[in-house]
């Protein structure tokens, strides 16, 4: 009996041992399994799983700084960036892609299939809709869809609408400049990029808050232009009226401050509104003044005259025979609009004789003429920061025939951009010193080369001829501004035909200066294919006068540079009397300034302002026009205290 008990106890002890070994084995196996699993997760699958966790709880967002704004010279905003909402999704966080696609397509008013395709992409970031309205953004926010997020971006807007549209250009959806100044100044205007990491909760909501606006450090630089919005408005308004009135294809107007080369206005028609660039085509947003060629026509003649005088081939009183309107050169025939006989150099430019201009060109020779055109910049683009500027078309002089030289002398057979032509006139107005155009108002002086193309004496003589072309019986009489002497040159250029030769289409142009002596402004007007009238003196010259009157009556010029102050206390205005052969200066009534307010009623704006500036008084101008109609204080009253106001009218 005892033996049996001992055997049973031993068996129980042996079974306990087995159980312990079994449990230990199972524990070892489980522990090994856990370590194996941990090894698998941490080492083998660690990188992949960490990436999945990152995508689930962290997101990396690219923050782009706010694009810099563009202002005119007076602080008027021309282009600015404003906050807008955009919707994106992380497809890995979306629970039901079909329902999410249906909800988003309804809220955003987008095609369901397109949204569904976006949500099925194997990426952690997809744009669903960018730069949407606040109304649509609110719809999406209300639905609180997991995996769908709304962030702030910047949209580019142009508060002045079509004003300066072709010059400003526009940006794409990623705020990258695509045209105009937006493109050429993109590096300056663009904000820097910053990658930030955001932690999210299980629902995908942001948990980490940035201590400050990350865009504050990375914003782009602002740019100030030389443009004056008030002058720009006038330049666009009167240009548009002329193009529509004469049925032209398009038009260009340019206003330049002569002493500095600053562009104050740059008009183009048809208008282009960069806010709606997607609905426009390239022919509308094309900046024709910078990239299109025109044959200058008669507007090139002043430079030939100046070159001939500089080379002492001709003088202002040199006589040329204009062949009574028709001249045969080889097998070709050159004609004038009117039949002229003998004309002096002054009258050749005043009446714009093609025949006599061709004869002067033949005397000057191809090499000499080319040298001056090259020095004036007709073979190089301007320094303006604009994309796609053209260089001009001017063949080497050794390839010119006699007929080539004759036609280039009166502006046919050569092509330039309107900007190149404007720069050449700017050089002439600055006493022959090469001066480039400028549109960036950075406080630095214009970096023109300063090369003396024409001597000051010759430049002043040619400028005097341009004054006679307007103020006497020349081709530019419709550019006159009452009460002020102006100067300028008309141009009527035939357009080349696609079939070869010249067709029946024309470019009408006028380039002029306000005032004629010591000019403050240069104004260029070009109208393409006007009908039925096509002469520059009829189509473009009146636009010059309208823009000029608007500038003078607005008082903008006094903010740029005070009008010249006479050396003495007597303000004298000289006029020209033409007896048919000589121009004789004649003195008009003088104004003596004393302690009492002089009677300036009936005076021209320029004359009245000069009188007051000589005493250190800058008047306030009210009304529109260039003639003083009334004044305050009244004549005879003390004028040294308080404000002096001049009331203006057109006549």
Query: For position 135, what pLDDT does the model report?
Result: 83
Within this chain, do residues 67 and 204 fall inside the same structural domain, yes or no? Answer: yes
Task: Give dist(CA 341, CA 47) in Å, integer.
Answer: 95
Residues 272 and 414 reside in one and the same domain: yes
Distance of alpha carbon 508 from alpha carbon 247, whole angstroms? 12
- Asked if residue 590 and residue 546 are part of one domain, the reply reads no
Q: Flag whether 509 is in a domain.
A: yes
Domain around 296: 229-560
pLDDT value at residue 580: 33
- Tens of pLDDT, residues 213-257: 554 456 788 999 999 999 999 999 999 999 999 999 999 999 999
439 CB contacts (<8 Å, ≥6 apart)?
167, 181, 225, 226, 227, 262, 263, 266, 384, 385
Residue of 156, 154, 151, 152 whose CA lies nearest to 178: 156
- 68 and 145 belong to one structural domain: yes
Q: Which two tokens stand for residue 305?
A: 């005259």
Task: List phi, psi (to 5°) of 66.
Answer: -60, 135
Q: CB burial class (10 A; 0-12, 13-18, 19+) of residue 122? A: exposed
Query: Cα 29 from chain centroid?
Result: 78
CATH code for position 595 = 3.30.10.20
Q: Any idea what the CATH number is for the domain that residue 132 is in?
A: 3.90.1310.10
Q: Are residues 186 and 285 in the same domain?
A: no
On whether residue 550 sits in a domain, the answer given is yes
Token pair 């199972």: residue = 26
Contact yes or no for 322/336 (Cβ under 8 A): yes
Output the pLDDT for position 211.
44
**194 belongs to a structural domain:** yes
DSSP state of 28: H
In a domain, 387, yes or no: yes
Handedness of CA 174, 179, 182, 184 (dihedral sign): positive
The residue among 506, 509, 492 whose CA lies nearest residue 544 is: 509
Give yes or no: residues 189 and 239 share one domain.
no
Return the biggest CA–CA distance within the chain. Answer: 165
pLDDT of the residue at 554: 73
Nearest CA-CA partner of 164 in 263, 309, 27, 98: 263
- Any idea what the CATH number is for the domain that residue 453 is in? 3.40.710.10
Which of the residues in the chain have pLDDT under 50?
A: 209-212, 215-216, 447-448, 558-590
Question: Are 174 and 286 part of one and the same domain?
Answer: no
Number of domains the chain contains: 3
**Contacts (Cβ under 8 Å, ≥6 apart) of 438:** 226, 260, 261, 262, 263, 383, 384, 446
Using only the alpha carbons of the chain, give its radius of gyration. 38
If asked whether residues 495 and 574 sit together in one domain, one would say no
Report yes or no on 33 lying in a domain: no
Q: Are residues 185 and 265 in the same domain?
A: no
* pLDDT tens digits, one per residue of 145-186: 888 887 777 788 898 999 999 999 998 877 788 999 999 999
Residue 367 located in a structural domain: yes
Neighbour count for residue 203 (Cβ, 10 Å): 9
Same domain? 317 vs 431: yes
Q: How far apart are CA 518 and CA 175, in angstroms?
A: 44
First to last CA, the chain: 149
Catalytic sites, residue numbers: 298
Residue found under tokens 């702030």: 152
CA distance 193 to 214: 10
Give pairs for 176-185: CB < 8 Å, separation 24+. Answer: 179/277, 179/285, 179/287, 179/387, 180/274, 180/285, 180/287, 180/386, 180/387, 181/70, 181/223, 181/225, 181/385, 181/386, 181/439, 182/79, 182/156, 182/274, 183/387, 184/385, 184/386, 184/387, 185/223, 185/385
Provide the sign of the torsion angle of the four alpha carbons 451, 457, 460, 466, taken in this order.
negative
- Do the domain assignments include residue 586? yes
DSSP string, 322-336: -GGGEEEETTEEEE-
> CA 45 → CA 49, 70, 88, 337, distances in Å?
6, 53, 29, 90
Closest CA to 60 of 121, 144, 187, 151: 151
Q: What is the H or E stretch that residue 302 is in?
A: helix 301-310
| Residue 290 and residue 326 in one domain | yes
Domain annotation covers residue 9: no
CB count, 10 Å around CB of 412?
20
Same-domain status, 288 and 427? yes
Cα–Cα distances in Å, from 286 out to 167, 169, 268, 290, 342? Answer: 9, 9, 10, 9, 45
* Gap between the Cα atoms of 120 and 410, Å rounded: 67
């Amino acid at each position: 009996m005892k033996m049996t008990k001992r055997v049973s106890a031993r068996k129980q002890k042996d079974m306990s041992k087995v159980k312990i070994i079994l449990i230990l084995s199972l524990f070892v196996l489980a522990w090994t399994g856990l370590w194996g699993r941990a090894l698998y997760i941490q080492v083998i699958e660690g990188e992949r799983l960490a990436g999945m966790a990152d995508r689930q709880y962290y997101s990396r967002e690219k923050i782009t700084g706010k694009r810099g704004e563009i202002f005119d010279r007076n602080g008027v905003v021309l282009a600015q960036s404003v906050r807008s909402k955009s919707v994106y999704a992380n497809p890995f966080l979306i629970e039901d892609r079909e329902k999410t696609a249906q909800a988003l397509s309804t809220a955003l008013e987008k095609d369901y299939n397109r949204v569904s395709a976006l949500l099925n992409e194997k990426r952690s970031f997809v744009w669903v809709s960018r730069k949407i309205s606040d109304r649509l953004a609110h719809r999406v926010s209300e639905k609180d869809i997991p995996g769908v997020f709304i962030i702030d971006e910047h949209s580019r807007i142009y508060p002045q609408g079509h004003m300066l549209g072709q010059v400003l250009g526009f940006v794409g959806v990623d705020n990258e400049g695509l045209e105009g100044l937006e493109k050429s100044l993109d590096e300056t205007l663009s904000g820097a990029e910053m990658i930030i990491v955001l932690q999210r909760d299980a629902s995908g909501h942001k948990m980490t808050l940035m201590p400050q606006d990350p865009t504050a450090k990375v914003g782009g630089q602002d740019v100030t232009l030389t443009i004056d919005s008030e002058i720009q408005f006038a330049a666009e308004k009167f240009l548009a009226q002329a193009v529509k009135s004469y049925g032209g294809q398009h038009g260009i107007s340019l206003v330049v401050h002569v002493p500095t080369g600053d562009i104050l206005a740059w008009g183009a028609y048809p208008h282009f509104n960069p806010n709606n660039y997607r609905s426009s085509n390239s022919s509308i947003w094309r900046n024709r003044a910078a990239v299109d060629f025109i044959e200058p026509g008669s507007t090139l003649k002043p430079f030939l005259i100046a070159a001939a005088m500089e080379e002492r081939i001709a003088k202002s009183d040199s006589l040329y025979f204009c062949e009574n309107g028709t001249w045969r050169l080889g097998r070709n025939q050159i004609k004038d609009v009117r039949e002229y006989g003998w004309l002096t150099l002054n009258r050749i430019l005043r009446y714009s004789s093609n025949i006599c201009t061709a004869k002067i060109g033949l005397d000057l020779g191809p090499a000499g003429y080319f040298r001056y055109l090259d020095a004036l910049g007709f073979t190089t683009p301007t320094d303006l920061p604009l994309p796609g500027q053209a260089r001009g078309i001017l063949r080497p002089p050794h390839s010119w025939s006699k007929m080539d030289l004759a036609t280039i002398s009166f502006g046919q057979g050569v092509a330039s951009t309107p900007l190149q032509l404007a720069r050449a006139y700017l050089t002439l107005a600055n006493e022959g010193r090469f001066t480039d155009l400028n549109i960036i108002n950075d406080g630095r002086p214009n970096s023109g080369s300063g090369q003396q193309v024409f001597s000051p004496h010759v430049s002043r003589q040619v400028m005097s001829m341009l004054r006679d072309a307007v103020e006497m019986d020349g081709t530019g009489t419709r550019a006159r501004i009452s009460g002020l002497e102006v100067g300028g040159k008309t141009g009527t250029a035939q357009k080349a035909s696609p079939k070869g030769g010249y067709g029946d289409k024309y470019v009408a142009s006028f380039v002029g200066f306000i005032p004629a002596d010591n000019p403050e402004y240069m104004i260029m007007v070009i109208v393409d294919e006007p009908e039925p009238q096509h002469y520059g003196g009829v189509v473009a010259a009146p636009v010059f006068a309208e823009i000029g009157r608007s500038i003078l009556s607005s008082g903008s010029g006094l903010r740029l540079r005070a009008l010249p102050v006479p050396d003495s206390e007597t303000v004298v205005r000289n006029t020209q009397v033409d007896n048919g052969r000589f121009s004789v200066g004649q003195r008009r009534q003088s104004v003596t300034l004393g302690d009492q307010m002089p009677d300036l009623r009936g005076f021209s704006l320029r004359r009245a302002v000069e009188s007051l500036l000589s005493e250190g008084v800058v008047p306030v101008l009210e009304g529109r026009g260039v003639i003083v109609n009334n004044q305050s204080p009244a004549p005879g009253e003390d004028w040294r205290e308080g404000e002096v106001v001049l009331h203006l009218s057109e006549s």
